[in-house]
Amino acid sequence: MSLTESKIIELHDKKFDKLFEKHKAEWMEVTGNAYQVTKDHVCGGKPPRQDDVLKVLTPMLETNETLRKHQEETKSRFKHYRDSYAEYMIDAYFKMLPLEDQ
């Protein structure tokens, strides 16, 4: 996973940071679900890597109405925004985890 500074700037330009803060509990729950599914079904119970979680989280976001509405309002419907936002969510989630679960 490569959440670069340029991706962060691009997300901030389209107010994805505000979207994240406004619905933080929802985003952390979705990311936590993706983390747990990845841990249980991809990594055999071991803590997953961020890229593995990304593969599970990305399809979960494709139909998320909150995200789709934001993308429509900010004219950011391209797939790369959704992918970068998923990386942003995972980055925030992993910062909350204890070191042994990262």
Q: For residue range 17-53, list pLDDT tens digits in order.
A: 999 999 999 999 999 999 999 999 999 999 999 999 9
Tokens 């995200």 sit on residue: 67
pLDDT at 30: 98
pLDDT at 99: 75
Q: Structural domain of residue 85, as residue ranges? A: 5-101
Average model confidence (pLDDT) for the chain? 95
Confidence of residue 1 (pLDDT cuts 50, 70, 90): low
Select from 72, 78, 89 the least CA-distant residue to 30. Answer: 89
Whole-angstrom distance between the N-terminal and C-terminal Cα of the chain? 14
Structural domain count of the chain: 1
What proportion of the chain, given as a percentage, has pLDDT over 70? Answer: 97
